Structures are given as C-alpha cells and as structure tokens.
Structure 1
Amino acid sequence: MELGLREELEKMAEAIREAREEWLAAQRFFAEVTEPDLVDQAIYRLEAAERRYMYLWKVVRNRGQALHNFDL
C-alpha cells in the first residue's frame, strides 16, 4: 500500500474514532440533561454528532469501493 494512502486511511480512522466518542458523549449528555433550556441543545448536539459519524463512514466506504473498482 502506498504511503500516502496509508496516511489518509490512518487519518480517517482517527476521525471516525473521534466522531464516535463525540457521539457517545452527546448520547450521555442527552440522557442526563434535565434542564428544559438545554434539551434542544442536547438534541442538536446528538443529531450533529451522529450525522458526522455516519458521514465519515460513508466517505470511507465510498473510497474503499473506488479502490476496489480501480484494482479490477
């Protein structure tokens, strides 16, 4: 595997790990929030974190498919 591709994959893996941790933290915050003024913020934070995590997985999946097609 070429060095540039390996570095890119390592960066993507780290971004996914960070996004997952952010999503889990948002889930905990949502589960614990009791202040009515913070409920909307908790929902927004949870949805944003989930969407970022899912987006990063989609990018990796699409790049993997592109690499697979290129090798054929």
Structure 2
Amino acid sequence: MLNAKLCLDQQSLLRVALGIQTLTLCFSEAAQRTIKQAEAEDCDIMDIEHFEKVLPQLVCKYTHEFYEISSPIIVKE
C-alpha cells in the first residue's frame, strides 16, 4: 500500500530507478564474483565464505554510486 502523502518529482523517480538498476547490477556482479572465487578455490558449491572474500571489492566499487543517487523525498502535508 502506498502512502497518499508521498510525492516524488520526476528527477527523484529517475534517481530511484537508477538506484534500483545499480542494486541489480551490484547483486549480479556479486553472484558472478562469488562463483569465480569458488571456482578459483576448486569448489563445486559456492559458500558464504566465498561471498565474504569478494564483498570488500564490491563495497569499494559501489559505495560511491550509492551516495550519488540519494535524494530527498518530498512529503505533502
């Protein structure tokens, strides 16, 4: 259910869409890097430990992008 008082201008909606796209790319890249890490360790199954090893790289890469897309949300009274 949406809040009727919530109002986003076109620029804010665009930023939300870009944020969703960035998160989608981040999750996709995280999965790909985790698979590569598991393969590099000659494992047939990827584990949380493989993800933990690639996480710092992803944080460095995407932190800047997350801060760029943040914007204020306008609430009507």
Structure showing the higher helix proportion among its residues: 1
**C-alpha RMSD of the superposition:** 3.3
- The number of residues matched between the two structures is 56
Q: Which has the larger radius of gyration?
A: 2
Structure having greater relative contact order (Cα 8 Å, sep ≥ 6): 2
Superposition TM-score, scaled by structure 2 size: 0.52
Q: Deviations over 1:7-62 (max 9, x none)?
A: 01101110111011101110010001158xxxxxxxxx92312x135x279638xx
Superposition TM-score, scaled by structure 1 size: 0.55
Structure 1: runs of 5 or more not aligned: 36-44
Structure 2: runs of 5 or more not aligned: 1-7, 43-52
